A = this chain, B = another copy of it.
Amino acid sequence: MVERKKVTIKDVAKASGLALSTVSNALSGKNYVKEETRKLVDETARKLGYRASAVARALRMQRSFTIGVLIADVANPSSADFVRGVEDVAIREKCTMLLCNTDEDEERQILQMQTLYDRQVDGMVLISQHCESPRIRALLDGGTPYVLVQRRSSKWKDDYVGSDNQEGLAEAIRHAHALGHRRVGFVTGPLESSSARERLETFKQESARLKLSQSKSMIFEGRYTFDSGLAAGKYFTGMKNRPTCVLASSDMNALGFMQVALEEGLRIPQDVSVIGLDDISLAGLKSINLTTIQLQKRDMGAAAAELLMKRIRKPAKVGKPIILPTRLIIRGTTASPVAGGGKPDGN
C-alpha cells in the first residue's frame, strides 16, 4: 500500500515525451492524432496507471457526468425499483448517480436540491417529490434539466414520466364490482401529489359509474406509507358498516391495512378483500399474495433517465408526458364478499 502520488496527464506527457495537449487529444480520441502517437500514449498511460480526474474534467467542461436522483426513502421498497431503472441508463451513459432521500419533507428536499446544484449535476430526476412551492420552483427553473416522475405540477409544464392512473385502477374497481362488492373503501395518497389526486378522481368516477357506495365515509385520506395503512385499517375496521373491499393507493398502504385487519381477527379475503397499487416485489409472496395494480417502476425510472439525457444533450421544450400502462394482477386477497366464505385463494 504505497501511498503513490496521483498520476496526472502531465506525467503521461513527460513520460511519453509529448506535449500535454497532444496526450489529451490522443486520450479523448481525436481523429487527427497519428496512430503511432496514440499507441504510445495509450501504452504509457496504461503503464503509469493514469486515470483522468473527473473533477478537473467537470470543472473544465462544465459537465459533471453526474445526475441527481431524489426519492422519498431508499428503504421503502417502492422507491428502490425506480432507482434501479435510473441507474441502468446512467451507467450506460457513463454517468454516476447522486442519490438523496427526502422523506417527503420539503425543507429537506430543498437542501438536497441545493447540494445537487452545487455539485453541478447535469440534471436531476425527481421521483414523487414536491414540485409546486415557490422555492422549489425557483430551484427547478434555474436552467438545469430535470424530469419529474409520478408527481407533476398542475400549474407548470415539466418533463414528466408517470403511470396511467386510470386504466389499471378502473380495472381493479371493475374486478371488485364483478366479485360482488358494493361497498369499496379507498385509501388515498397524499393529496398534494398529482398521482394521488388522479387516482382518487378515477376511483370516484368509476365507482359512481358502477353504482358502488358513494358514501364519503368510503374514502380515507392517507399517504403512501405503511403507517398510513395502519390508520386506514383502524378507520375502516372500526366502522359500523365497513367496506367489504378496500382499495389502497399503494402496496405499503395495503399492507398496513391488512396488518390491522388481521389483528382485528378479520380474514382476508373472506371477511374483507384488499387491493394494492404498485406491485412491490414482495407482494407476490405466497404469504402475502396481494392483488394489486402493477406499476412499471424500473421502466419508469429508465424512461425518466433516458429523457433527462436527451435534455442534457440538447435542451428543448417540454415534450409530451410519458405515461406507462398499469394493469391489475389478481392474486389472493380478493374474493366475493360471501359471508363466512369465498374461495381462500385467488389462483
Task: Name the contact of A98 in the complex, choosing from B4, B52, B96 (C-beta under 8 A).
Answer: B96
Oligomeric state, in number of copies? 2
Task: Name the contact of A282 in the complex, choosing from B51, B55, B142, B282 (C-beta under 8 A).
Answer: B282
Interface membership of A262, Cβ < 8 A:
yes
Which residues of chain B are near A55, meaning CB under 8 Å? 55, 58-59, 64, 119-120
Task: Name the contact of A96 in the complex, choosing from B80, B115, B259 (C-beta under 8 A).
Answer: B115
Interface membership of A53, Cβ < 8 A:
yes
Complex contact A98–B98 (CB within 8 A): yes
Give the CA-CA distance A117 to B53 in the complex, in Å: 9
Q: What's the least CB distance linking A124 to chain B, in Å?
A: 13
Complex contact B64–A75 (CB within 8 A): no
Interface membership of A141, Cβ < 8 A:
yes
Q: A residues 266-308 with Cβ under 8 Å of B?
A: 281-282, 285-288
Which of A81-89, A161-169, A216-224, A239-247 is near enough to bind chain B? A81-89
Give the CA-CA distance A258 to B287 in the complex, in Å: 8
Task: Name the contact of A99 in the complex, choosing from B59, B77, B99, B117 (C-beta under 8 A).
Answer: B99
Q: A73-B84, A255-B285, A282-B255 are in contact. Are A120 and B54 (CB under 8 A)?
A: yes
Complex contact A52–B118 (CB within 8 A): yes
Which residues of chain B are near A58, meaning CB under 8 Å? 55
Interface membership of A35, Cβ < 8 A:
no
Q: A75-B281, A286-B263 are in contact. Are A56 and B54 (CB under 8 A)?
A: no
Render A1-43 as a binary contact track against B, CB cut-off 8 A, 1 for contact.
1011000000000000000000000000000000000000000
Interface membership of A97, Cβ < 8 A:
yes
Q: Pick the most buried of A59, A77, A87, A285: most chain B CB atoms within 10 A of its CB.
A: A285
Q: List 19 A-B contacts (CB under 8 A).
A: A4-B142, A4-B143, A51-B118, A52-B118, A53-B120, A54-B118, A55-B59, A56-B59, A74-B74, A75-B80, A75-B281, A98-B98, A255-B282, A255-B285, A259-B285, A259-B287, A262-B287, A263-B286, A287-B287
